[in-house]
Amino acid sequence: MTADHKVVSARFRIHLLSNPGFLFFIMLGFFCLAPASPQGNHITDSLSVLLKQSKRQAALLNKIAAEYNHISYSGALGIATEALEAARKEGNEHEAAYAWYNMACNYMSRGAYDSSGIMLERSLKLAEKLNDELAILRVGNANASISFLKGRLDESFRGFESTLERARGAGFTEIIISAVANIGRIHWLQGRNESALRCYDEALFIADSVKNKFMSGMIRLFRGILYQAMGFYELAAGSISVSAAVFEHMNYLDKLPYAYNYLGSVYMDLGENDNAMTFFRKALMLFERNNDIWGKALTARFMGSIYSEKGRPDSAGFFIRESLALAARLNDLNGMLFSRRFLAELMLKTGKPDSARVLLLGNLEDALKTDNRQEMVNNLYDLGRVYTHEGRYSSALNYFHRAGALADSLGYFHEGMLVSKHLSGLYEKLGDYAKALYWNKQYKSLTDTIFSTEKRRSIDELRLKYETEKKNSEISTLMMEKKVQDENLRTQRILGYALFAILGLVLVATVILWRNYRQKKKSEREKEILLKEIHHRVKNNLQTISSLLSLQSYNIADPGVKIAVKESQERVKSMALIHQMLYQQEKLSEIDFGLYLQRLAESVSSGYGDKAATISYHVDCNNVALDIDTAIPLGLIANELIVNAYKYAFIGKTSGDIFISLSRNSNNKYLFRIKDNGIGIPGHISPDGAGTLGLKLVSLLVRQIKGVMVFLCMEGTEITITF
C-alpha cells in the first residue's frame, strides 16, 4: 500500500469515528437503565436473589435494569414497565420517576426522541414533586443527550454544564462522570482535542477512584477513539484493549462489540484489513444477537470502507447504503451525513462526478447547520476533488483552500496533507510553479510528521505495554516515535546507557541515605543534609553524563549527529542546574526560578560564541518559586525555546533581543513567555506538527504540566505557555 493510499484510507476511517449519534448511544449506559437478559453477571445474579426475597421490588428491578443496560438492550422496555408497575403497587413515587426515566432512555436509544421527551417530562414532574435532586439531574442529562443526538451541540453543551455544576455541589459522582465525559466528546467534535483529553482524564480519575469498572471501561474506549483520530495508534490500541478486557470480565455484552469494532478500525489504520475484518465479524455477531441497530450501522460503515479500499465498489456500495438506511431508521442525522459523503466518494471513484457533487453540496449545507466541523473539512475537500476531476480548477482551488484553512485551525494533519498535495498539483497545471513548490513542501513536511515507523508496531505488543494507560504512557510513546527518527543508532545507545546509569546511581544513593536515616533517627537538620546530598549526587551524575556526551561528540564525524548529541548535553545540563540550586539553598522543596532562568540563559548564550555577543537576553521573573516536579519540565521547555531562538530567530540579522518572563495572571495561573524580535516563523507551524525534535519535546512537556501553548508571529516570534 502506498503512502498516499494510507493517508486516504486513514482519512476515510478517522471520520467514521466522528458520529455523535452512535458514540453517544453507547454512552447512554452512563445514565440510562436497560433490560434483563437471559445472560447476566455476578451483580445481576445477586440482585435477582434479593428480588425473590424482597417485598419492595421496584427499587431492585430498577437496579437490575441498570446493570443489564451494560449487557443487552433487547428487553429494556419490558423490565422498565415492570418496575413502573411495581412502584405503583408500592406507592413509591421515587422509583416510579426512575422507571419513567428508564423507559425514556430506551426510546431514546431507538431514535424515538419525541416519545422519550414525553416520558422524561413525567419523570421530572415526579422528581420535582419529591424534591429529588438526583432524579432531576438524571433527566437534565438525558435532555442534553437528546440535543446531542439531534446535532444541537451548543445546546447540549449548555445542558451538560448545567447538570455538572449542580452535581458537583451535591456530590453525585456518576452524574459528574457522565457530564464531564460528554462535555469532552463535544469538545472533540468541535475540534478542541486537548480540552477533550482533559475531560476524559478527569472523568477516568473519578471513575477509577470510586472503582466503577463500567465507567472506567467506557471512558478508556472513548479516549482510545480520540487517540486514533489524532493518529496515536499505539495509545489507541492500548486504551481500547483495556476497555475490551473490562467488558469481557464483567460480561458487558452490549459494549464489548464496540470495543471489537474500534480495535478492528486500528488494524485498518495499520493496513491490516484481514485482521480488521475478523474483529468486525465478531462485533457484528454480537450486534445481531443484541439487535443493536446503532452497532450494525457502525459496522456497515467500516466494512464499506474496507471493500472500497479493496476495489470492490459493488460490495462497498451495498454496505454504505445499508449504513445510510439504518441511520435514517434511527433518525441519526450525523450518521446519515457521513454515509452520504462516503457514497459520494464512491460515486466519484466510479466515474459519477455529477451525482457526487449534488450529494456533497447538500452535505456541506447540513454540516454547517449542525456545526459538524470535521464533516465541513471532508465535504470541502471532496468538492475540490470533484471540480478537479471536471477540469474546473478555479472552483477546485477555492474549495481546497477553504478545506485547508479549516483543517489547519482544527489540527487535522491527514486532511492538511491531502489538501497540500492537491494544491501543489493544481498550481503546477496552472503554471504557477512557485506556489506549486510551496504546497509540495507543505505536503512533504506533513507526510514526514504523520508517517513514522513507530506507528506500525504490533497491536498485540501494545496491549501489554499500555495496560496502565496513564499520562506518562502518552509521553513515553511519543518519545519512542522521536527515537525511531534519530539518525544514528550509536548515539541512542550512549544516551540509553547513560540514563540507566543515572537511574541506578540515584536509586542506590537514595536507598543508602534513606536506610541510614531510618536506622539512626537523626534530627530534622540531619534529614535536610541527607536530602541535599541526594541532590548533590544527582547533579554530579548528570554532569558526568554531560561530560561523557561531550567526549563522545569528538569521535562523531556526522555534523547532524554531533548537533543532536550537543542538544542532548544541553538538556542534561539544564536538569543538573536545578539540582545544583536545590542543594545550595536552605529550602529544599522549591527553587527560585528567576535565578534559574538567568543562569540557564547565561549557559546557553556562552555556547554560541561570537553570535551571543550580538544577541541580548532579558529575564523578568521576580519572586517566583517552583517545586521540583514543575521546575524540571519547565526548565527543559525554557532550554529548548532559548536554544531555538539563538539558532533560528536571527538568521541574516546582525543583532537581536530575547525576552524571557514568568508571572501570574489574574486567574492565579502562571504565564511563561519567550519572545524575540527576529525573523519569525511560518504562521502555520504548530508544535505537534513541527518536524523538529525540540518542538515535539516542548509540546510533550507542556502537556505534562497541564499547560496550553500559543504561538504569535508579529515582529518576531512570541511563545506563551499558560499552566
- Amino acid at residue number 637: I
Where does the pLDDT of residue 309 fall: very low under 50, low under 70, confident under 90, or very high at 90 and above? confident
CATH architecture, domain defined by 32-148: Alpha Horseshoe (1.25)
Across residues 583-599, what is the average pLDDT? 73
* pLDDT over 70 percentage in the chain: 69
Q: Is the pLDDT score of 54 beyond 60?
A: no
Please report the pLDDT score of residue 529 as a whole number: 55
How many CB atoms are closer than 10 A to CB 150? 18
Task: Convert the pLDDT of each residue in 236-263 to its tens digit.
Answer: 888 888 888 888 887 777 788 888 988 8
Please report the pLDDT score of residue 440 as a whole number: 87
CA distance 111 to 122: 19
Q: Is the pLDDT score of 455 beyond 70?
A: no
Q: Is the pLDDT score of 319 beyond 60?
A: yes
Could you tell me the fold of the domain covering 151-210?
A: 1.25.40
Q: Is the pLDDT score of 464 beyond 60?
A: no
Please report the pLDDT score of residue 190 as a whole number: 79
Please report the pLDDT score of residue 137 as a whole number: 92
Where does the pLDDT of residue 583 fall: very low under 50, low under 70, confident under 90, or very high at 90 and above? low
Where does the pLDDT of residue 475 fall: very low under 50, low under 70, confident under 90, or very high at 90 and above? very low
Which position has the higher pLDDT, 502 or 469? Answer: 502
Across residues 410-420, what is the average pLDDT? 81
CA distance 250 to 574: 48
Please report the pLDDT score of residue 164 as a whole number: 92
Of 664, 523, 518, whose CA–CA distance to 594 is shortest? 664
Phi, psi dihedral angles at 357 (to 5 degrees)? -65, -45
CA distance 491 to 565: 7
Across residues 499-511, what is the average pLDDT? 63
Please report the pLDDT score of residue 183 as a whole number: 92
All three cell numbers of 586, joined, read: 536552605
Please report the pLDDT score of residue 712 as a whole number: 80
Q: Which of the residue ranges 56-60, 257-261, 278-282 would you say has the lowest mean pLDDT? A: 56-60
Please report the pLDDT score of residue 665 as a whole number: 79
CA triplet 630, 636, 639: central angle to 5 degrees?
135
Q: Is the pLDDT score of 465 beyond 80?
A: no
CA distance 326 to 267: 25
Task: State how far the alpha carbon of 338 is from the alpha carbons of 156, 362, 384, 568, 716, in Å.
Answer: 21, 12, 18, 46, 42
CA distance 85 to 58: 8
- 671 burial (CB, 10 Å; 0-12 / 13-18 / 19+) is middle
Tell me the Cα Rg of the chain: 29
CA distance 111 to 25: 10
Phi, psi dihedral angles at 515 (to 5 degrees)? -65, -40
Task: Convert the pLDDT of each residue in 635-692 to its tens digit.
Answer: 888 888 888 888 888 887 878 888 999 888 778 888 889 998 888 776 555 555 555 6
Task: Convert the pLDDT of each residue in 22-42 to its tens digit.
Answer: 444 444 444 443 333 334 544
Helix (H, G, I), strand (E, B) or coil at 663: strand
Q: Which of the residue ranges 31-35, 63-67, 519-523, 545-549 would you say has the lowest mean pLDDT? A: 31-35
The full DSSP string for 245-275 is HHHHHHT-TTTHHHHHHHHHHHHHHTT-HHH
CA distance 437 to 425: 9
Q: Is the pLDDT score of 79 beyond 50?
A: yes
Which position has the higher pLDDT, 529 or 651? Answer: 651
Task: State how far the alpha carbon of 286 is from the alpha carbons of 294, 299, 705, in Å.
Answer: 12, 11, 42
Contacts of 694 (CB under 8 A, 6+ apart): 567, 640, 643, 644
Q: Which of the residue ranges 41-50, 460-469, 611-620 would you say has the lowest mean pLDDT? A: 460-469
Please report the pLDDT score of residue 545 as a whole number: 72
Across residues 449-471, what is the average pLDDT? 44
CATH of domain 591-723: 3.30.565.10
Task: Convert the pLDDT of each residue in 602-630 to its tens digit.
Answer: 888 877 766 666 888 888 888 888 887 88
Across residues 108-121, what is the average pLDDT? 85
Across residues 100-125, what is the average pLDDT? 85
Task: Convert the pLDDT of each residue in 179-199 to its tens digit.
Answer: 999 999 888 887 788 889 899
Which position has the higher pLDDT, 326 or 613? Answer: 326
- What is the average pLDDT value for the chain, to the nearest integer? 76
CA distance 192 to 537: 43
Across residues 262-272, what is the average pLDDT? 85
Of 578, 562, 550, 716, whose CA–CA distance to 637 is shortest? 578
Q: Where are the domains of the chain?
A: 32-148, 151-210, 486-588, 591-723
Which position has the higher pLDDT, 426 or 451? Answer: 426
Q: Is the pLDDT score of 334 beyond 60?
A: yes
Phi, psi dihedral angles at 376 (to 5 degrees)? -60, -45
